[in-house]
Chain A
Amino acid sequence: MGDALANAMPLQGLIGGLMIGTAAAIMLLGLGRIAGVSGLAARATGISTDGAPWPIAAAFVIGLPLGAALITALLGPVEARFPPSLTTIVIGGLFVGFGTRLGSGCTSGHGVCGMSRFSPRSLIATASFMSAGIATVAAMNALGFSQ
């Protein structure tokens, strides 16, 4: 229990968070749009036809792994511990894809962009996915489900 707390990265978290918020601010003040990754990903893949023009959505989505690759090139390997089970990854992905479309957004659109605007919809959505995420992890732990 103490290990996770001791391994927390408050400074890197804050710096990375400032970068994420600045990126969202560039989308807002530069392009007049919300940096909502689920919506932009749906638009970039053609699953959704409304929202940002396709080239803008595609450029933002392509930028995500490019930025991550830049960090690994400059600062070295970045940790990414995925669930060991393929089934866990697939089920998680299905829920995330369906849920973010039904709920009109995810951690970036509702969490970062919406909450900073005090959008009532985003505050409710964030409370919903945060509490569902916490309950899911607690339930998996209690029932002895490993990932």
Chain B
Amino acid sequence: MMRRVLFALVAGALFGAGLAVSGMADPQRVRGFLDVFGAWDPTLAFVMGGALIPMALAWAAQKRMAAPIADIRFSLPTRRDIDPSLVGGGALFGIGWGIAGLCPGPAIADLAIAPAPAAIFVVAMLVGMILHRLLPAVSAGQPPLETHNV
């Protein structure tokens, strides 16, 4: 487990360093990317483009590997269905992203750069996650409770 924890720590640190280097630790710059009809800042497109290159290569390599380097098996998402939760959840996330200019990665990395406002955002984000967990019918994509009795 120690080796796997080290892999995760290095990956997280490199991810956080990349966010800081790329300008994505700056909520106003991220929000500038979303301001397509106003003061548009294309930086995020370069970040996404840069990130997709190693990951596309990694997926190609993954196809030829029986197991990952430090674990016994790949544990990857297999769902392919498009459900309302996916689209609606994405939309709600996008609204929050547009309001504040923050998504989860930069918000957590910013705990080291702008601790006070980042901590407030992260706590609110975790509260949002807990609220979602308290609504099991919505989270599982199931019909509302009352329809079970019909």
Contact = CB atoms under 8 A, between A and B. Distances in A.
Interface of A: 1, 3-5, 7-35, 37-38, 41-42, 45, 47-48, 52-53, 55-57, 59-72, 75, 78-83, 86, 88-104, 106-108, 110-117, 119-121, 124-138, 140-141, 147
A51 to B, nearest CB: 8
The 4 closest A-B pairs by CB, nearest first: A63-B12, A17-B50, A16-B22, A97-B128
Contact of B10 (A26, A48, A81, A120): A26
B43 A64 contact: no
Contacts of B37: 134, 138, 141
User: Counting chain A CB atoms within 10 Å of each CB, which of B13, B45, B46, B111 scores highest?
Assistant: B13
A93 to B, nearest CB: 3
B20 A68 contact: yes
User: Counting chain B CB atoms within 10 Å of each CB, which of A4, A111, A126 scores highest?
Assistant: A4
A19 B20 CA distance: 10
A56 to B, nearest CB: 4
| Chain B interface, >50% SS class | helix
Interface residues of B, number: 119
B61 interface: yes
A12 B21 contact: yes
B77 A21 contact: no
Interface of B: 1, 4-29, 31-32, 34-59, 61-62, 65, 67-71, 73-77, 79-82, 85-105, 107-114, 117-118, 120-133, 138-139
14 contacts: A15-B50, A24-B51, A71-B20, A80-B25, A82-B117, A99-B128, A102-B85, A104-B85, A104-B89, A124-B87, A125-B89, A128-B87, A135-B94, A136-B94
| Chain A interface, >50% SS class | helix
A6 to B, nearest CB: 9
Nearest to B3: A30
Given A71-B17, A93-B123, A121-B82, A17 B47 contact: yes
